[in-house]
Structure 1
Amino acid sequence: MKFYSVLFIFLILLSCGTKQEKILPEERALTEAVYSSAIIQPDSLYQVYAIVSGILDANLVEEGDLVSKGKPLMQIINSTPEINSQNAKLALHLAQQNYTGSAAILSSIEDEITAATLTYKNDSINYHRQKNLWDQHIGSKVQYDTKKLNYELASTQLKLLRNKYNRTKNELNTAVKQAQNNYQSSSILNQDFTVESKINGKIYALYKEPGEIVTTMEPIASIGSANRFIIELLVDEVDIVRIALNQEVVISLDAYAAVLFKGKISKIYPKKDERNQTFKVEAIFVEQPKVLYPGLSGEANIIIAKKEKVLTLPKSYLIDGNKVKTDEGIVTIKTGLENMDYIEIVSGISKDTYVYKQN
């Protein structure tokens, strides 16, 4: 008798141990979302680079300062461009003196032209006077030929000097323009040693201290918007095709515990980051928090779809993603929206169908 009592209790315990959990599908609001990490960054954030190399002479601003477009940020020193600028200025002054100064080259040619003109006029008068005499058979042929030759030589010399004047004037004018260009170029290069802000914004970082070497390959500062921030999201490549502009985003930040912020997708970058197989997506706040800092991190859910009243099951009750166990055995179902915990049941079972959880 005692043996049968023990056996009965064992069978009861065994049956209780193998009993499966079962539930009925429930109607609920269901939101499908794509998860992403989130990092806060200032809008229009950019790295400042010098376009010349040298030594940092002074930082003209401090981290946290507000700056306007065109405001000087840093001063770099390098003696070579300044010397080149001075030499270019001297070359320009010399070229201008040669072209328009009191000792200009053109002045000496003008004097030669004046003398040649007088000679030409004198030889012209002598030639035509001798020609008239020769036409009247007065004088000798030698005298006539001599006067004619002097006249022709004077005419040729005058033409040569005028051509020389015009050619020299063009050459000197070109030399002045070239010297002006060289001086302007060297002056601009000299101005490049003062680094200026390209936007109205805020200094978020300075990477160099006075005395350090500055190159064109390294950033020297970081500037961005002072009061407008964006949310940088990294979306997995399997989800990127489901992301679209203006989709709603729910953001939680570590700095604001238990507070959810709303945003919307504003930009989708088309190139994948091969290192982590993700795509960069930007969102903007619908209502931005009063205090934000670059680099604040958190999590975000990008809302793909919403339904207010759908039949759902916990995802843990599914078999192979599209089957469930019922009183009638294994049944194939059609699913729809899903989140981390629940999935929509489109067809296959009803709200009165008990579904068993697989052990």
Structure 2
Amino acid sequence: MKAAFIISVFLIFYSCSKPAEKITPQRAKLVESVYSSVVIQPDSLYKAYATVIGILDRNLVEEGDRVEAEAPIIQLINIAPELSMENAKLSFQQARDNYSGTSALLKSLEKEIESARLNLRNDSINYHRQKRLWEQKIGSKLDYENRKLAYELSSNKLQVLKEEYERTRNDLSIQVRQALNNYKSSEFTSGEFTVTSKINGVIYALYKEPGEIVNTVEPLALIGSANNFVIELLVDEMDIVKVEVGQKTFVTLEAYGSRVFEAKIKKIYPAKDESTQTFKIEANFLKDPPKLFPGLVGEANIVVAEKEDALIIPKEYLLDEDRVLTEDGPVRIVPGIQDMEHIEIISGIDENEPIYKPEQ
């Protein structure tokens, strides 16, 4: 009796507090999509850089010009090779002077060899004179041995100097040849340097004017396809797992108002932009708008799922993420795909089950 009384009280209370707004689930087509911002860019867009430090002599093209692959677009006056050539020339001259000039290292060694040769001749005369005296039992053995030692030392020193001379001569000869090769190489690369286009396309931007210093880290030009454009989309990391190559995408551009263009996902870049917490995606128009320009912006909805005969309810009728309010109280449901306003019911209730809008 007590349990029945409690249930009766609950039902009376529930019926009195039950929300007035109720509906039943409906069958309809449901499309789930992922929102993305859009920027239009030319295909194969890239920035051209110099490979050397120099001064911009002149731009050979203007912004908007069409160019072919390998066509010259910017001409530089090369500074670094000029300096390298001058340094190589000085190194070559120094190596040549060391080998055969007035300050040659070999001349110093030649003087030392000549001096060693004179010392050897003098020590040889003294040694042989002292040797003959010693054989005649004249003089002391110590004098004989001292003369002999001096002679041997002079002979060894002369031999060492000759070997050092040959080694130095060979080293200097190699240094001269190396310095000459470096000089010729730097001379070959000096002069004007030309930056060329890598693709058939259009010059979208020129970043430097004649007379400005050019380095290898700042771009000189922006070049891209003349007719082929891609749609760059930025997708939030919460939605990226739903996106696949080949999915349909509906694009609106600010330049074309409410007009909608259909596209298809072509590429998903795997690296996340940490600054925006988004992933970059590329798509292609199925039919291009009449005119496109780099930098046009807009919005896109990527279709990630769709169902023709889905059982749906408005999202505002969800009690929690997976419950609805019925005649018998809260019921757990299994949700399916969803759009901004509706969500699919996989199981839990059917299309004949009334549900109530929760009180806010």
TM-score range, shorter chain: 0.5 to 0.7
CA deviations over 1:275-305 (Å, ceiling 9, x no partner): xx54032224385749754223333223333
Question: 1:85 aligns to what?
Answer: 84
For 1:284 and 1:311, the matched residues in 2 are separated by 31
Moved more, 43-52 or 334-343: 43-52
Secondary structure of the corresponding residue to residue 245 of structure 2: coil
TM-superposed CA distance for 1:311, in Å, is 1.0
Residue 32 of structure 2 aligns with an amino acid whose one-letter code is E
Q: Is the 8 A contact 1:123 1:150 kept in 2?
A: no
For 1:88 and 1:164, the matched residues in 2 are separated by 29
TM-superposed CA distance for 1:33, in Å, is 1.4
For 2:72 and 2:134, the matched residues in 1 are separated by 85
Question: 1:200 aligns to what?
Answer: 199
Residue 233 of structure 1 aligns with an amino acid whose one-letter code is L
For 2:329 and 2:69, the matched residues in 1 are separated by 69
Residue 75 of structure 1 aligns with an amino acid whose one-letter code is Q
Question: 1:4 aligns to what?
Answer: none
Would you say 1:30 and 2:27 are equivalent positions? Answer: no
TM-superposed CA distance for 1:127, in Å, is 6.8
Secondary structure of the corresponding residue to residue 74 of structure 1: strand
Alignment of 1:41-52 (within 5 A): 41-43=41-43, 45-50=45-50
Alignment of 1:6-21 (within 5 A): none
For 1:348 and 1:86, the matched residues in 2 are separated by 83
For 1:330 and 1:86, the matched residues in 2 are separated by 89
Secondary structure of the corresponding residue to residue 33 of structure 2: strand
Question: 2:301 aligns to what?
Answer: 301
| Structure 2 stretches lacking a partner, 5+ long | 1-19
RMSD value over aligned CA atoms? 4.9
Secondary structure of the corresponding residue to residue 220 of structure 2: strand
TM-superposed CA distance for 1:36, in Å, is 0.7
Question: 1:98 aligns to what?
Answer: 97
Seen in structure 2, the aligned counterparts of structure 1 residues 31 and 131 have a Cα distance that, compared at 3 Å, is farther
For 1:278 and 1:121, the matched residues in 2 are separated by 86
| Structure 1 stretches lacking a partner, 5+ long | 1-19
Q: Is the 8 A contact 1:56 1:214 kept in 2?
A: yes
Identity across aligned pairs (percent)? 37
Q: Is the 8 A contact 1:45 1:223 kept in 2?
A: yes
Query: Which of 264, 267, 270 does residue 269 from structure 2 map onto?
Result: 267
Secondary structure of the corresponding residue to residue 259 of structure 1: strand
CA deviations over 1:166-200 (Å, ceiling 9, x no partner): 56447746865885798699779967x84635843
For 1:239 and 1:177, the matched residues in 2 are separated by 65
TM-superposed CA distance for 1:73, in Å, is 4.1
For 2:286 and 2:76, the matched residues in 1 are separated by 41
Would you say 1:239 and 2:239 are equivalent positions? Answer: yes
Residue 263 of structure 1 aligns with an amino acid whose one-letter code is I
Residue 231 of structure 1 aligns with an amino acid whose one-letter code is I
Seen in structure 2, the aligned counterparts of structure 1 residues 357 and 195 have a Cα distance that, compared at 3 Å, is farther
For 2:244 and 2:234, the matched residues in 1 are separated by 15
For 2:157 and 2:233, the matched residues in 1 are separated by 83
For 1:54 and 1:199, the matched residues in 2 are separated by 21
Secondary structure of the corresponding residue to residue 38 of structure 2: strand
Alignment of 1:280-295 (within 5 A): 280-285=279-284, 289=288, 293-295=293-295
Secondary structure of the corresponding residue to residue 86 of structure 2: helix
For 2:287 and 2:190, the matched residues in 1 are separated by 43
Question: 1:15 aligns to what?
Answer: none
For 2:29 and 2:128, the matched residues in 1 are separated by 121
Secondary structure of the corresponding residue to residue 274 of structure 2: strand
Question: 2:67 aligns to what?
Answer: 66
CA deviations over 1:115-164 (Å, ceiling 9, x no partner): 56975886687578647744642887799789757744642441353254
Q: Is the 8 A contact 1:51 1:216 kept in 2?
A: yes
Secondary structure of the corresponding residue to residue 87 of structure 2: helix
Question: 1:222 aligns to what?
Answer: 222
What is the TM-score of this pair, normalised by structure 2?
0.66
Residue 268 of structure 1 aligns with an amino acid whose one-letter code is P
Q: Is the 8 A contact 1:234 1:278 kept in 2?
A: no
Residue 349 of structure 1 aligns with an amino acid whose one-letter code is I
Residue 282 of structure 1 aligns with an amino acid whose one-letter code is I
TM-superposed CA distance for 1:41, in Å, is 2.3
TM-superposed CA distance for 1:313, in Å, is 2.9
CA deviations over 1:83-135 (Å, ceiling 9, x no partner): 63353133133134235547682653675587569758866875786477446
Seen in structure 2, the aligned counterparts of structure 1 residues 265 and 314 have a Cα distance that, compared at 3 Å, is farther
Q: Is the 8 A contact 1:29 1:306 kept in 2?
A: yes
Question: 1:159 aligns to what?
Answer: 159
Question: 2:339 aligns to what?
Answer: 339
Q: Is the 8 A contact 2:99 2:176 kept in 1?
A: no
Seen in structure 2, the aligned counterparts of structure 1 residues 171 and 298 have a Cα distance that, compared at 3 Å, is same
Alignment of 1:320-339 (within 5 A): 328=327, 332=331, 334=333, 335-339=335-339
